[in-house]
């Protein structure tokens, strides 16, 4: 990026979520890019809470956002929870600033009071749309004399609107897309201050980005069409423009903007499913960006080292759970036993013993893609399964009686093993000794598998038996044999 080279000021980027309930993966994605860009350039990453919409505010959302970013390993240098040189970092605590700047605009003739009722606005929009025009404010109050406007403002409710030029163009050099130009006549007289005295996003974001010395505004492409409004405001205030960079918008498999209707979007959901933060972050890195060496798996540190805005793609990627799952499985496989034991804690029965778990982990680590799949593979260790005789017989391919007798025979042989001999190779040897021309390895071992686990899919049989223990294994074999004979007499 050419204009980076002459940058003398510090790079300061920010993420500015609104507290509406969840931590969105789209927010995490934008945070990741802003964080990486700041760190790459030795700058600061700021977290600002944009809570100027009182109707949509959900108490507690801030904590959800903080904890999601903490989980993901994307720490901020300044923010509403930790403060900083430009605090407060919560917009509802900065109200006077916005009022002050809005009034300055009115004094300079760059903005005006608007007294139009929402009914009039709605009616106006309706007729405009019927005529096939684009709905825009008709500028009624813009024409009002200053004295009239001032006196009405003393008694009536009003909003403050920006005066947008009717001709000319507004353009900027987008750091990921190049020059973008928009005709001023398509820009509405944007509301800056609402009738409740709160600023709109457009005013607050410009004022705060300026006051907080944000150098690079890196945000999703859905903001492209409001960027000219922001530039107009920067100019009206005489502020220095930041670099704008509009990143691709994450999409659902149906190609629409990523939303909870079609896709899990809450970071918390991924956490609860047992996705590892490294995997989610790594996957997000692959959205609209690629490693110069074509690597798919790399650390956040490596990403920071290699990240650049000009390598960011402009087309909109689809968020694909399948590839994320693969990546997650890969990260799980790389974990140490101790780490996995720790990570698995929320997904494992409380009664589970540590030694036992370490053994189980060795058996399932290559099989699970998310941590919550632990129970799918390992639940039989903690609870005797319900054995379905039909499923069992389908594996043995022999009559119930013969199958039951074989299971009992295996149980008897196992009975002869001492506790110290209760080891995988011995268990397997004992099993293989029972093979003959009627019992192939597959028939016998699959039958035993169903008897012990209730399923046709499980971790390796003899390793599982070693962990399950002598008493429990024999008990389950005997019980399966009983079920077979009861059902078929």
Site for RNA in 206-245 (CB under 7 A): 221-226
Closest CB 403 distance from RNA, rounded Å? 15
Give the whole-angstrom CA distance, residue 29 versus residue 234.
26
CB of 447 to RNA, least distance (A): 10
| H-only helix segments in 131-226 | 146-155, 201-211
Closer CB to RNA, 221 or 409, in the complex: 221
Pick between residue 225 and residue 487 the one whose CB is nearest to RNA. Answer: 225
Span interacting with RNA, options 6-14, 61-69, 133-141, 480-488, rule CB under 7 A: 133-141
Alpha-helix runs per DSSP H in 345-388: 354-364, 374-382
**Smallest gap from residue 142 Cβ to RNA (A):** 14
* Residue span binding RNA (CB under 7 A) among the ranges 94-102, 265-273, 313-321, 352-360: 313-321
* Residue ranges in 415-434 that form contacts with RNA under rule CB under 7 A: 428
- Give CA–CA dist 285/221, Å, rounded: 17
Q: Give me 473's structure tokens.
A: 């294994």
- Closer CB to RNA, 195 or 478, in the complex: 195
Q: Which residues contact 104 (CB under 8 A, 6 or more apart)?
A: 237
CB of 20 to RNA, least distance (A): 7
Q: What is the CB neighbour count within 10 angstroms for residue 412?
A: 12
- 196 binding RNA? (CB under 7 A): yes
CA dist 182 and 73 (Å) reads 38
Specify the 3-state DSSP secondary structure of 446: helix
Residues touching RNA, count (CB under 7 A): 85
- Other CB atoms within 10 Å distance of the CB of residue 284: 24
CA distance 191 to 202: 8
* Positions in 73-132 near RNA (CB under 7 A): 116-118, 121, 125, 132
DSSP helix/strand/coil, 436: coil
Q: Does 184 bind RNA (CB under 7 A)?
A: no
**Which span (5-13, 28-36, 231-239, 328-336) binds RNA, by CB under 7 A?**
328-336
Determine which residue in the list 201, 303, 410, 439 makes contact with RNA, applying CB under 7 A. Answer: 201
Q: Between 236 and 448, name the residue whose CB sits nearer to RNA.
A: 448
Site for RNA in 24-63 (CB under 7 A): 50, 52-53, 55-56
Question: Which range touches RNA (CB under 7 A), out of 37-45, 230-238, 306-314, 466-474?
Answer: 306-314
**Of the candidate residues 73, 135, 139, 359, the single one contacting RNA (CB under 7 A):** 135
Separation in Å, CA 271 to CA 48, 70, 265, 280, 297: 23, 12, 11, 9, 20
Min dist CB 36 to RNA, Å, is 15
CB 40 within 8 A of CB 308: yes
Please name the residue that has the structure tokens 């005997």. Answer: 478
How far is 218 from 33, CA to CA, in rounded Å? Answer: 8
Question: Pairing state of beta strands 191-193 and 178-183?
Answer: unpaired
Give 179's strand partners.
173
Q: Do the beta carbons of residue 317 and residue 347 sit within 8 Å?
A: no
Task: List, by residue number, the catalytic residues.
Answer: 260
Binders of RNA in range 5-24 (CB under 7 A): 16, 18
Task: Give the Å distances, CA to CA, from 333 to 15, 336, 369.
Answer: 32, 8, 9
Q: Which is nearer to RNA, 271 or 464 (CB)?
A: 464
Considering only 144-152, 319-327, 352-360, 399-407, which stretch makes contact with RNA by CB under 7 A? 319-327
Helix (H, G, I), strand (E, B) or coil at 40: helix
Instruction: Kindly identify the residues of this chain, within the stretch 159-178, that bind RNA according to CB under 7 A.
Output: 159, 177-178
**Contact pick of 100, 148, 151, 256 for RNA (by CB under 7 A):** 256
Residue 388 touches RNA, criterion: CB under 7 A: no
Residue 188 lies near RNA (rule: CB under 7 A): yes
Contacts of 61 (CB under 8 A, 6+ apart): 19, 20, 21, 22
Q: Would you count residue 308 as binding RNA (CB under 7 A)? A: no
- For residue 439, the minimal CB distance to RNA (Å) is 12
Cα 379 from Cα 385, distance rounded (Å): 9
* Closer residue to RNA (CB): 224 or 268: 224
Give the residue with the Cβ less far from RNA, 59 or 132. Answer: 132
Nearer to RNA, 274 or 329 (CB): 329
Measure the CA–CA gap between 48 and 309, rounded to whole angstroms: 22
C-alpha distances (whole Å) from 299 to each of 79, 134, 225, 284, 335 are: 25, 47, 34, 12, 14
Out of 317, 359, 385, 469, name the contact with RNA by CB under 7 A: 317
Q: How far is the CB of 40 from RNA (least distance, A)?
A: 17
Site for RNA in 364-383 (CB under 7 A): 366-367
Q: Which stretch binds RNA (CB under 7 A): 65-73, 104-112, 317-325, 379-387?
A: 317-325
Alpha-carbon distance of 349 to 379, in angstroms, equals: 9
Residue number, 304 or 391, with CB nearest to RNA: 391
Query: Shortest gap between Cβ of 489 and RNA (angstroms)?
Result: 29
Note the Cα 415 to chain centre separation in Å. Answer: 52
Position among 37, 101, 172, 198 found at the interface with RNA (CB under 7 A)? 198
Shortest approach of RNA to residue 350 CB, angstroms?
26
């Amino acid at each position: 990026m050419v204009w980076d080279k002459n940058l003398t000021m510090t790079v300061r980027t920010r993420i500015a979520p609104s507290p509406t309930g969840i931590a969105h993966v789209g927010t995490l994605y934008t945070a990741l890019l802003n964080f990486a860009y700041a760190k790459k350039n030795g700058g600061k990453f700021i977290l600002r809470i944009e809570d100027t919409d009182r109707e949509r505010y959900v108490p507690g959302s801030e904590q959800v956002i903080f904890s999601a970013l903490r989980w993901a390993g994307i720490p901020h240098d300044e923010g509403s929870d930790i403060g900083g040189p430009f605090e407060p970092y919560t917009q509802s605590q900065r109200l006077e600033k916005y009022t002050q700047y809005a009034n300055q605009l009115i004094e300079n003739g760059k903005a005006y009071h608007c007294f139009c009722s929402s009914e009039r606005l709605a009616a106006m929009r309706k007729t405009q749309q019927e005529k096939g025009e684009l709905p825009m404010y008709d500028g009624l109050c813009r024409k009002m004399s200053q004295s009239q406007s001032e006196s009405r403002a003393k008694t009536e409710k009003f909003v403050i609107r920006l005066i947008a030029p009717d001709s000319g163009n507004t353009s900027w050099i987008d750091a990921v897309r190049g020059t973008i130009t928009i005709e001023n006549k398509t820009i509405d007289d944007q509301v800056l201050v609402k009738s409740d005295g709160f600023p709109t996003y457009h005013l607050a974001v410009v004022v705060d980005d300026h006051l907080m010395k944000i150098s690079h505004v890196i945000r999703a492409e859905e903001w492209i069409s409001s960027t000219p409004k922001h530039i107009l405001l920067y100019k009206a205030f005489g502020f220095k423009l930041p670099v704008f960079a509009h990143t691709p918008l994450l999409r659902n498999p149906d190609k629409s903007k990523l939303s909870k209707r079609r896709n899990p979007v809450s970071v918390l959901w991924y956490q609860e499913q047992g996705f590892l933060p490294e995997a989610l972050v790594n996957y997000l890195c692959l959205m609209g960006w690629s490693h110069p060496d074509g690597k798919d798996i790399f650390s956040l540190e490596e990403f920071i080292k290699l990240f650049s805005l000009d390598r960011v793609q402009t087309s909109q990627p689809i968020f694909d759970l399948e590839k994320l799952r693969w990546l997650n499985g890969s990260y799980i496989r790389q974990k140490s036993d101790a780490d996995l034991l720790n990570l698995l804690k929320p997904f494992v029965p409380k009664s589970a013993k540590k030694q036992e778990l370490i053994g189980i982990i060795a058996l399932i680590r290559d099989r699970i893609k998310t941590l919550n799949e632990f129970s799918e593979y390992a639940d039989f260790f903690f609870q005797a399964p319900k054995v379905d005789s039909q499923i069992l017989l389908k594996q043995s391919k022999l009559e119930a009686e013969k199958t039951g007798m074989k299971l009992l025979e295996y149980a008897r042989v196992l009975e002869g093993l001492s506790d110290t001999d209760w080891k995988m190779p011995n268990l397997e040897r004992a099993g293989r000794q029972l093979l003959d021309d009627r019992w192939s390895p597959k028939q016998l071992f699959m039958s035993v598998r169903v008897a012990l686990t209730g399923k046709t899919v499980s971790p390796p049989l003899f390793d599982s038996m070693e962990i399950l223990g002598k008493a429990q294994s024999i008990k389950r074999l005997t019980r399966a044999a009983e079920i077979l004979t009861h059902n078929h007499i």
